[in-house]
Amino acid sequence: MLKLLSLTIVLLIAGALAAFAIGPVWAFYDLRSAAESEDIKSLSELVAFDDVRTSLRNQLLADAAGQTTASAPPPSVLKDPVGALGAAIGKTITDMTAPPALKPAAVNPDAYLTPRALLALSYGAGKSASTADPKSVISGKPPLPKVLYWSIDRARLGVVHPDSGQTVFSMKRRGLFSWQVTHIGLPNPETIPDVPTSASAVE
């Protein structure tokens, strides 16, 4: 009896550790399923919409400006007040003189945050996800996510599409077994992979 109890405890601990480890992949498939069924309530728990909206807006603006690399965070007011003031003045001038295509109103990150667009992103549609039909993005089975990074509280999963490139979902732990998408990295069209979609697998 004692041996059976010990074995049961070991199995329960092993199961809990496995669930803890595969949490990001589990959350990704939960996101894909919720997007497919247009379950807004579940999506609101799985996606930090404010954070993702900000990240998408920055990428779309950078893309419109012809930039390929993300900019560093602005100087801290506490650590570098002069630098922060200069950055604020520079941003104000840029916003006033920038062409309309580069202003925040010209990009629409919300177009990527509908259930249909999120599903297309999970299939690897990349920058065309806002207008693409999810069914037309793939032929056959949906691509599998690849774990690019995993730590106790953060993870990144990549979805590779042979035409679009790699879309990266960054996640943050919100509970013992729950994760939330906080950033979606759109692929760079200049770095299209030469690996077919079927080769993308969970690692």
Other C-beta atoms lying within 10 Å of the C-beta of residue 59? 21
Percentages (nearest 5) of helix, strand, coil residues in the chain = 50, 15, 35
Confidence of residue 167 (pLDDT cuts 50, 70, 90): very high
Site of tokens 């960054």: 170
Domain ranges of the chain: 25-65+106-199
Smallest CA-to-CA distance from 75 within 62, 89, 87 is with 87
pLDDT in tens, 109-160: 999 999 999 999 999 999 999 999 998 888 888 999 999 999 999 999 999 9
Helix (H) or strand (E) holding 122: helix 115-122
Lowest mean pLDDT among 3-7, 47-51, 157-161: 3-7
Distance in angstroms (rounded) separating the CA atoms of residues 135 and 122: 12
pLDDT at 203 over 70: no
Which amino acid appears at position 40 of this protein? I
pLDDT (mean) for 163-178: 89
Q: Is the pTM of this model over 0.85?
A: no
The whole-number pLDDT of residue 7 equals 55
Name the phi and psi angles at 181, rounded to 5. Answer: -75, 125
Lowest mean pLDDT among 13-22, 70-79, 81-90, 146-155: 13-22
